[in-house]
Homo-oligomer: A and B are copies of this chain.
Amino acid sequence: MRKLSISLLLTFSGFVVIGQKDDSALIKRISDEILVNGKAYENLRYLTKQIGGRLAGSSGMVKAENWGLKVMKENNADKVWMQECLVPHWVRGGKDYAKAMFIPSKFEKKSRPYPSGTTKELDVIALGNSMGTGKSGLTAEVLLINSFEELEKRKDEVKGKIIFYNYKFNDKYINTFLSYRDAGQYRGQGPSRAAKYGAKAVIVRSLSHAADNNPHTGATRYDSAYEKIPAVAIGLRDADWLSEQLQKRDINITIKTNGYFLPDTIGHNIIGELTGTEFPDEIITVGGHLDSWDNGEGAHDDGAGCVQTMEILRAFKAIGYKPKRTIRFVLFANEENGLRGGSKYAEEAKAKNEKHILAIESDAGGFTPRALGFSGSDEQYKKFLGWKDLIAPYGCNEFIKGGGGADIGPLNRVLKTPTASLNPDSQRYFDIHHARSDVFEAVNKRELELGAVNMAALIYLVDKYGL
């Protein structure tokens, strides 16, 4: 009996070793295909340079959808379709503008140094979803507020003022997404929290630690209980200047923004599918979001995730890989200011009673891959951890608890689908995130491709072994 057990054990171990060798070889084939024949970089060049910004409702959105459909077909998906959804249609409406003016009556005439002029134009950009100032703009005295705590303490001074939130990105975090989460509340809640106390407008320090002065946009969320006051983000050098000046003298700022909403319009998730050969009803989703802010080219956010998604499809077909399970490659609509694409995808999955076994998203930039994050049951997490040694040689040598993405969040909430994320190196991301510097040139070809390699490896393993 004991002998038998041992021999069974040996046999079993033998299978495992052979299985791992096969897996390792298959993953190497995927990697070689992507690194040698990859199309992700040239696809990204087209998306960013020929189409550019593609906010929900814009003509860029329509062009990008048609392009995505075309590339999915070129990459030989078994099926390709557009999944319709209503998307919000916010329009920037013109150039955002702000000018600071020292208030003449309060000049400290004898102090040094004098300002070199009495006005200074500031580099600003209206926050997404924010309402414009009207044609003639808006002028008011500025109140420097460094935190919500300070806002509450000084709430009686807020009325009629422009609130300048100068809360800084915390440089001490190694993972810069922690700094983003920490400071992000000022962009999201700042306008309404100031409006509550009668502020006329808001200026938010950009959510970044960049060395340049580019302002970073991004969606704000108005609380319907208060007035929807105009809101801009300001570049970091101008934020430092303004904060320094405000400690010495009073300043008025004139702001002009032009944002407004048109009625909701029709957008689409772009979906390609490889139909499973053994378990076609078990679905693995991989995706990124196709929309981007209008001030840059949406190269890292999230052109990268889109071209990586389609590159995995291309590579699977190129090496003749036939998945057991169904793999869906999805370019989601409207992540930036509505999340309607991800919501629609989950809604339809539920309505059709689909079985989704994993969704993975790339929406943290096309930088060098470092980690895969995973959210699921403890048992699933254990299985996921077991694949680490196979994937680590390609960059993701950290397998961490907690993974997902905005677009696949609804799938997790509605169907309890386990979710994963590609976590590339985060150091450069907030230099360019939502700024005019998020352009093709900021993306490195091999880093982009390696992101696709690491995700493809995980998808292959989940397809082969289930989850």
Q: Which residues of A contact B (CB under 8 A)?
A: 31-32, 35-36, 41, 171-172, 174, 176, 209, 211, 368, 370, 393-395, 397-398, 425, 427-428, 431, 444-447, 450
Judging by beta carbons under 8 Å apart, are B397 and A171 in contact?
A: no
Judging by beta carbons under 8 Å apart, are A450 and B174 in contact?
A: yes
Judging by beta carbons under 8 Å apart, are B35 and A171 in contact?
A: yes
Q: Which of B35, B172, B394, B444 contacts A35 (CB 8 A)?
A: B172
Judging by beta carbons under 8 Å apart, are A425 and B174 in contact?
A: no
Q: Which of B36, B171, B394, B425 contacts A36 (CB 8 A)?
A: B171
A36-B172, A425-B425 given. 14 additional CB < 8 A pairs?
A: A31-B174, A35-B171, A174-B393, A174-B394, A174-B395, A174-B450, A211-B445, A368-B368, A368-B427, A370-B370, A397-B398, A427-B446, A428-B446, A431-B444
Provide the residues of chain B in CB contact with A172, threshold 8 Å: 31-32, 35-36
The docked-state distance in angstroms from the alpha carbon of A395 to that of B176 is 13
Provide the residues of chain B in CB contact with A425, threshold 8 Å: 368, 425
The docked-state distance in angstroms from the alpha carbon of A445 to that of B123 is 22
Closest B residue to A392 using CB positions: B398
Provide the residues of chain B in CB contact with A428, threshold 8 Å: 444, 446-447
Judging by beta carbons under 8 Å apart, are B444 and A427 in contact?
A: yes
8 of the cross-chain contacts (CB-CB < 8 Å) are: A31-B172, A35-B172, A36-B171, A171-B446, A209-B445, A368-B425, A368-B427, A427-B446
The docked-state distance in angstroms from the alpha carbon of A254 to that of B14 is 62
Provide the residues of chain B in CB contact with A427, threshold 8 Å: 368, 444, 446-447, 450
Q: A368-B427, A425-B425 are in contact. Are A211 and B41 (CB under 8 A)?
A: yes
Chain B nearest CB, measured from A455 CB (Å): 15
The docked-state distance in angstroms from the alpha carbon of A444 to that of B425 is 12
**Most chain-B CB neighbours within 10 Å: which of A31, A209, A395, A445?**
A445
Provide the residues of chain B in CB contact with A36, threshold 8 Å: 171-172
Chain B nearest CB, measured from A24 CB (Å): 13
Provide the residues of chain B in CB contact with A174, threshold 8 Å: 31, 393-395, 450
Provide the residues of chain B in CB contact with A447, threshold 8 Å: 427-428
Provide the residues of chain B in CB contact with A398, threshold 8 Å: 397
The docked-state distance in angstroms from the alpha carbon of A397 to that of B175 is 14
The docked-state distance in angstroms from the alpha carbon of A394 to that of B428 is 15
The docked-state distance in angstroms from the alpha carbon of A393 to that of B172 is 12
Closest B residue to A175 using CB positions: B393
Chain B nearest CB, measured from A372 CB (Å): 14
The docked-state distance in angstroms from the alpha carbon of A172 to that of B172 is 36
Closest B residue to A398 using CB positions: B397
Closest B residue to A41 using CB positions: B211
Q: Which of B32, B176, B394, B446 contacts A209 (CB 8 A)?
A: B446
The docked-state distance in angstroms from the alpha carbon of A41 to that of B171 is 14
The docked-state distance in angstroms from the alpha carbon of A368 to that of B429 is 12
Chain B nearest CB, measured from A213 CB (Å): 14
The docked-state distance in angstroms from the alpha carbon of A211 to that of B32 is 18
The docked-state distance in angstroms from the alpha carbon of A394 to that of B36 is 32
Chain B nearest CB, measured from A357 CB (Å): 28
The docked-state distance in angstroms from the alpha carbon of A368 to that of B431 is 14
Chain B nearest CB, measured from A428 CB (Å): 5
The docked-state distance in angstroms from the alpha carbon of A184 to that of B225 is 66
Judging by beta carbons under 8 Å apart, are B395 and A397 in contact?
A: no
Closest B residue to A367 using CB positions: B368
Provide the residues of chain B in CB contact with A176, threshold 8 Å: 446
Provide the residues of chain B in CB contact with A445, threshold 8 Å: 209, 211
Closest B residue to A371 using CB positions: B397
**Most chain-B CB neighbours within 10 Å: which of A36, A395, A427?**
A427
Provide the residues of chain B in CB contact with A431, threshold 8 Å: 444
Chain B nearest CB, measured from A283 CB (Å): 30
**Most chain-B CB neighbours within 10 Å: which of A31, A176, A394, A428?**
A428
Provide the residues of chain B in CB contact with A211, threshold 8 Å: 41, 445
